[in-house]
Structure 1
Amino acid sequence: MRRTARLLPLVLTAATLIPLQHNDSDASYQEIPLDGPTVQARTKPFGMAAVTWPEGTRNVTAKIRVERDGQWTDWESLSVEDEHGPDPLVPEGIERGGTEPLWVGNATGVQASAVTDTGTTIAGAKVVLIQPGVLASDADEPSAQSVEPAASRAPYPMPLMVSRKRWGADERLRTHNGAACARPKYTTTVLAAFVHHTADRNDYTRTQVPAMVRAMYAYHVKSRGWCDLGYNFLVDRFGRVFEGRYGGAQLPVLGAHTAAFNSNSFGVALIGNFEKAAPPAAMLESTARVIAWKLDANYRSPLATITLDGSRLHTVSGHRDTKATACPGTQLYNKLGWLKQRVNTLMSGSFSTPIYQYARKLGFRNIGQPFWGEHRTRTGYATYFATRDVFYSVASGTHSTAGAFRTRFRRLGAGSARLGLPITEAYRVPGGSRQKFQRGWLVWDRRTRQVHLVYGRAS
């Protein structure tokens, strides 16, 4: 007889549960102390479950089963992927270790077990139950958008994405672990993509996915002690892309997905468990399109290698390339070779945009790395590098702004329809310097040390 079968579960009543805050999406959050090897309780309805423990606990084995419609499910092992963070803005002592969360649908009872590899109980362990609720928008489908590869389209376009607002993110939750978390933290640039799986179930429906993302968001913040959802992007089995961490999908937002390698990278999580099951073709294709968009905008080859945190890694890597983990699952990990080649095809195999060529001429050592990768503006294209912003349109050609001119042009709204794009670099004039734009000038006065705006047809 298995050891767990001899254990007498601790039976809790609803009154012993710890209900926390509800948000606007009717989400509820419950924690049950796991003081012994197992715990059992009937609860308020919940849709996602996980187990957490004090940070620093290692070699944990956790499993769970739930009660649905009066019947208990079979035991399921919970994936222990303990090293995604840390989040540097979270005060010390808040973060907790934990399993990946498991989507269970609509359950009203739970039995869970968590022990170390020596069979000892874990002081401070908790079972977490989350009910993300249902929103009217959960059944909405994003409109179709063609992003087929075309060598003439550079950079590769941003794929259609379900925004945080669309999937129902409660932005107030970002202050749960301190006011500092409300403002996103950015890294210097994008050098690499890390592919993950959420180690969740694979049989979810289309309408359940937004609720799953909301529940994962609540778990990462309230249970793990992070600032926000750990991943930058998520992809469901139907091929839909979801915006993850707050801060602007186009920008190098620091996530909490690959521990010491979070800086200068982004994390894409495929929703499901791909240790034994293969990821669907639509899911892989959408993952390739997200990676192609981010890498192409930042002029990174998917076939290259880079150095992160002192380690040599492929530009497109799996979580397991950085530590001993099963993530992103063997079947998905085996597809990384295909994924790199598909990304390369979508990117047309090379960088050939006028902005990239101009940046090479200026020298990346002089202008730094891309911060906001190449993107469309109202009047053309732009890339914001560390020390210069470079703009291009057919009418203006390729030119850059720097220093005080860059600051003022950004305040105007770079790509301003009224002023237009720069048609020269800055040049000296008596008493200061100026830069010509399509419909005026920016003039720096050496005496006042201010930049003045002058409208008029540049000649």
Structure 2
Amino acid sequence: MPTIVCMRRFLASSIGVTCAAALALPLALTSSPTAAVTRPAADSLPGSTQSLPLGPLGGDRAGGPSALRDQGLARRDVRPFSLVGVVWDDPAVELRGSVQVRTRGTGTATWSSWQEVETHNHEHAADPGTPESDSGRVRGSTAPLWVGDSDGVEVRVRPEAGPAERARAGTGAGEQGRPESGSGEHAQPEHARPQDQTLALPAGLRLELVDPGEHPAPPADPRADTAQGAPAKADGALQVPGRDQPGQTDTAAAARMTAEAAAASAVNADLAPLGADAVPALSKAETEADLIAAQGGDAARAKPYIGPRPRIVTRRGWGADEGLRERNFAYTRTVKAAFVHHSATGNNYSCSQSPSVLRSIYRYHVRSSGWRDFGYNFAVDKCGNIYEGRAGGVAKAVLGAHTLGFNTNSMGIAVLGSFTNASPPKAAVTGVAKLTAWKLGLFGANPRGATYLTSGGGNLYKKGSTVRLKVISGHRDGFATECPGRRLYSKLGTARSASARYQGR
């Protein structure tokens, strides 16, 4: 797989049609980086992770014999957290069973009901055989679940019954009525399963509790009006205070950025000033003019099919701790397709909490799951706000870890929430359409079209096979999975049509 690495002091120019001059840091940063850029003390960085080993739960006699094989934690007080997940030692092992948690709101005596944590999360990962996948740091993990500000937790992990045990219980079906064998992600050859006992849980189960930390808002932009300085507009659209509009870089603020933060911001410097909290929106005419200029300014060139550039909250805007991720950026050759996901973190968040949700997922992906960075290239919240995901530049072909087997020459978009049973808000579907109209347009892709990708290996397509996929696909098109949830998946046709209209097709 072609991978282009960009060191923090050598920032790559754009890939493909977004080629531009190499991005440069302000003089204060490039002339004496050690003097101008400082790293905060480790204990001053926002956010934290509590990792608690799980043990046998043998006291629940009402649960029958299987309860003796359950693992978990009894109710306990913990430091405040907002997101929860479970990890284990071997990423090649699946957790076949259920994970349930209940939590207590911070400063209250009120416990939630039991909540299900999505256990099938291995399909969101780097492709097999890549440096990220083979780093030795990757762990098996469930999807993370957003529970809000909490300081108490209880968890139980129950293994799936084996075929013989299910037969004794009077059913030959697996969990949720799924057949015992088949081609889906829950399938396992019958000869590979224990016949007379409950399936074993993975070794080294640990509960991960993530506190996103506070993200102090930067000073309000004096050029912005009062509405822009507010946390959110009446329609729910997030407004990040600070340098949210095009203009000159605040060199004093830039000098206070860490080297990693400066590098993550500088790869967007042809779109927004260094240290900007958002890439500002452009009209369709402005977007087309920018693209034609990037292609050489040939007046005879055909008018491109590209949607207006949407406003994108940068990693600085949502408070990414750039010290967590690997320093290098990795790229592929182009962006031929977009895979739409749901984050499976639940729907109990407000749009003003979206940055906290993102900081929690980011910390979980890196510290708990062992990935190099946030897995998705972009995120869209329930109000349609669009966020920069994995670092490397929003206009570039950044290599993500979102669709196992198809991360090369694609991008991943996570809609924050769970959409198997809940319908995605219209604003979120519109956000996907606007983002794909612009980003796919940069690389000449038709949102209503099809393309070919080479599989890096997965449960639907063997490694090296050439696969025809829709340019805007759901995760389940490349991997047998519930993602992005049936309700969101059913809206992808709407997103394709709207995206093509935004491109002027």
Counterpart of 1:30? 50
Counterpart of 1:105? 148
Secondary structure in structure 2 of the residue aligned to 1:324 = coil
Cα deviation digits, residues 259-285 of structure 1 (max 9, x gap): 110000000000011111111111111
Cα deviation digits, residues 236-272 of structure 1 (max 9, x gap): 1111111000001110000000011000000000001
Number of residue equivalences = 323
- Amino acid paired to 2:122: D
Q: Work out the CA distance in 2 between the residues paired with 1:152 and 1:89.
A: 35
Aligned residue among 78, 86, 110 for 2:126? 86
Q: How far does residue 92 in structure 1 lie from its aligned partner after superposition? A: 3.5
- Amino acid paired to 2:141: G
More divergent stretch after superposition (192-201 vs 75-84)? 75-84
Secondary structure in structure 2 of the residue aligned to 1:185 = strand
Counterpart of 2:202? 122
Q: Work out the CA distance in 2 between the residues paired with 1:107 and 1:287.
A: 31
Q: How far does residue 22 in structure 1 lie from its aligned partner after superposition? A: 6.2
Q: Work out the CA distance in 2 between the residues paired with 1:71 and 1:222.
A: 29
The alpha-carbon distance between structure 1 residues 44 and 341, as it changes in their structure 2 partners (threshold 3 A), is: same
2:112 aligned with 1:73: yes
Q: How far does residue 89 in structure 1 lie from its aligned partner after superposition? A: 3.1
Q: How far does residue 152 in structure 1 lie from its aligned partner after superposition? A: 9.6
Identity of aligned residues (%): 37
Normalization by structure 1: what TM-score? 0.67
Q: Work out the CA distance in 1 between the residues paired with 2:330 and 2:201.
A: 37
Q: Work out the CA distance in 1 between the residues paired with 2:215 and 2:322.
A: 16
Q: Work out the CA distance in 2 between the residues paired with 1:76 and 1:266.
A: 30
The alpha-carbon distance between structure 1 residues 192 and 152, as it changes in their structure 2 partners (threshold 3 A), is: closer
2:259 aligned with 1:224: no
- Greater strand percent: which structure? 1
The alpha-carbon distance between structure 1 residues 302 and 276, as it changes in their structure 2 partners (threshold 3 A), is: same
Q: How far does residue 157 in structure 1 lie from its aligned partner after superposition? A: 3.0
In the TM superposition, what are the counterparts of 1:172-191 in structure 2 within 5 Å? 172-174=323-325, 181-191=326-336
Cα deviation digits, residues 120-154 of structure 1 (max 9, x gap): 44320110001112223294714697667679945
Q: How far does residue 25 in structure 1 lie from its aligned partner after superposition? A: 4.9
2:85 aligned with 1:45: no
Cα deviation digits, residues 291-349 of structure 1 (max 9, x gap): 11111110111122122122221111001111221110111000011111111111111
Q: Work out the CA distance in 1 between the residues paired with 2:327 and 2:361.
A: 18
Structure 1 residue runs of 4+, over 4 Å off? 21-25, 142-154
Q: Identify unmatched segments of 5+ residues in structure 2.
A: 1-40, 57-70, 162-197, 219-230, 233-238, 246-279, 289-303, 456-465
Q: How far does residue 104 in structure 1 lie from its aligned partner after superposition? A: 1.0
In the TM superposition, what are the counterparts of 1:284-363 in structure 2 within 5 Å? 284-308=429-453, 309=455, 310-349=466-505
Q: How far does residue 61 in structure 1 lie from its aligned partner after superposition? A: 2.1
Secondary structure in structure 1 of the residue aligned to 2:348 = coil
Counterpart of 2:317? 166
RMSD value over aligned CA atoms? 2.2
Q: Work out the CA distance in 2 between the residues paired with 1:226 and 1:133.
A: 20
Counterpart of 1:402? none
Normalization by structure 2: what TM-score? 0.61
The alpha-carbon distance between structure 1 residues 247 and 146, as it changes in their structure 2 partners (threshold 3 A), is: closer
Q: How far does residue 24 in structure 1 lie from its aligned partner after superposition? A: 4.2
Secondary structure in structure 2 of the residue aligned to 1:156 = coil
Q: How far does residue 207 in structure 1 lie from its aligned partner after superposition? A: 2.2
The alpha-carbon distance between structure 1 residues 250 and 149, as it changes in their structure 2 partners (threshold 3 A), is: closer
